[in-house]
Structure 1
Amino acid sequence: MSNQEKDNFYYDNVYQTNKAYLKKAEEMLYFPIWKRAIQMMDENSIIAEFGCGPGQFAELVINHGLKYAFGVDFSQNAIRMVKERTGKDYFYVGNLYNKRNYTIKEYNTAILLEVLEHIEEDLKVLSYLPEGVRVIFSVPNFNETSHVRTYSLESIKERYENLLDIIEIIPFKIKENAVIFLCDATKKEIPMIQ
């Protein structure tokens, strides 16, 4: 795939111009995936969301009474939107390539929904997560302008097997020939990639 990773200005524009990001979570194409991701968690989950976007998933988590520790996104527009949407101030502008963003507060569940396909150094990002943390992520099998890679069941396992113990992969067909894989995993004990 020849797409290059997009910068924060690209996403600032996307969140400012695409009206889908103003919709309620229940109106979004991703809602069944988000609902299942929430079912993977329980009252002991302390959640950190990396690539939180405009906050539709964060709002769902908060409304379900789960403990949301913090969210990070490198789009200033996304962080403004999530703060307005949730009324919470524990969302931060930050780049996922900065290790400090993984130690803002303690958490035991890392969320990366529709994030890893957008970043070239996804393995480095996952290596920054603390060992033993639960990792819930989703990735697509289809290409879009901002995707640097696509996935299959096999490629998810192959790509992440050295970093994650994958517990479950659930495919969600969102339209003809378009699947998003929701994955439940645990971060392995491995050295951080520099």
Structure 2
Amino acid sequence: MPPAKREVFKEISWAGKTVLDAGCGTGEMAYLIAKAGAKQVFGVDYSSAAIKVAKENYNLPNLNYECADLSKFRSKFDVIVSLGTLEHQDDPLHTLKKLKERLNPRGHLILTCPNWTNPRGHILMTLWFLFRAKITLADIHYLTPIEFKTWARQLNLELSWRTIDHDWGYGKKMILDLERRLPNITRDSKLPTDGKKIKEFIAWAKKHIVPLGKRNEFSGAVGLYHFKK
């Protein structure tokens, strides 16, 4: 199980709860939650292909999958999870408002999102802001705990958060990611550099970033955000 899903899974006790997995993809997380004793789990996704895979692979009496827009749901839930989706939404705050409306009193809203407050994020954000480089294929927003703290105040929700997958933020996984990503970014964005310069930068990062990397609350490559109503 990927680190983000593992951390979400152990975030709360799922027993007896009604749960919505918004943007469930191929359904693994919804299945694990249902298997952990949730009263009822609904997995929803825009992709009919993903829902087809979910239905073919996971089958429990307390688990349902549907290809649908969240706006079609009128039910309320004890817990809503949404993993790696908010950064793709045109208006993240509007999406959070809609999710809040579907929560029962004292409900939980648990999300994950790429985090950029680490050396990897600083490198890629520099390319984005200075050159509008195509640093990801599908992200519309590059979110950090700062945005989520602001949204929690605006929505009058309690927020606890942490970042995870720290090695991807500043360690060896970061190096592997940059080795793969930087050639594609510079090619697709037509930046004035070449493979030799990229290798020189990677060598510098191995020497000056990885050994000095220090784990802190902001250094993980993924943010986990737990809102409470």
How much is the aligned-residue C-alpha RMSD, in angstroms? Answer: 2.2
TM-score, normalised to structure 1, is 0.70
**Which of 72, 82, 85 is the equivalent residue of 1:100?**
72
Q: Any residues of structure 2 matched to 1:115-130 within 5 Å, and which?
A: 115-129=85-99, 130=101
Residue deviations 1:41-69 (CA, integer Å, cap 9, x gap): 22242211111111121122123223343
Whether contact under 8 Å (2:3, 2:165) holds in the other structure is no
TM-score, normalised to structure 2, is 0.60
Letter aligned with residue 44 of structure 2: V
Structure 1 residue 164: deviation in Å?
Answer: 5.1
Q: Which runs of 5+ in 2 are unaligned?
A: 117-134, 171-219
Counterpart of 1:8?
Answer: none
Q: Which runs of 5+ in 1 are unaligned?
A: 1-25, 188-194
Q: Distance in 2 between matches of 1:90 and 1:46?
A: 12
The 3 A distance-change label for structure 1 pair 62 and 122 is same
Letter aligned with residue 59 of structure 2: G
Which segment drifts farther, 142-151 or 70-79? Answer: 142-151
- In the alignment, structure 1 residue 38 sits paired with structure 2 residue 9: yes
Whether contact under 8 Å (1:61, 1:68) holds in the other structure is no
Which 4+ runs in 1 deviate beyond 4 A? none
SS in 2 for 1:112: strand
Residue deviations 1:21-55 (CA, integer Å, cap 9, x gap): xxxxx2xxxx2222221222222422111111111
**Identity over the aligned pairs, expressed in percent?**
21
| More helix per residue | 2
Q: Distance in 2 between matches of 1:176 and 1:123?
A: 25
The 3 A distance-change label for structure 1 pair 164 and 118 is farther
SS in 2 for 1:62: helix
Q: Between Structure 1 and Structure 2, whose CA radius of gyration is higher?
A: 2
SS in 1 for 2:224: strand
Q: Distance in 2 between matches of 1:78 and 1:68?
A: 20
The 3 A distance-change label for structure 1 pair 166 and 147 is farther
The 3 A distance-change label for structure 1 pair 65 and 44 is closer
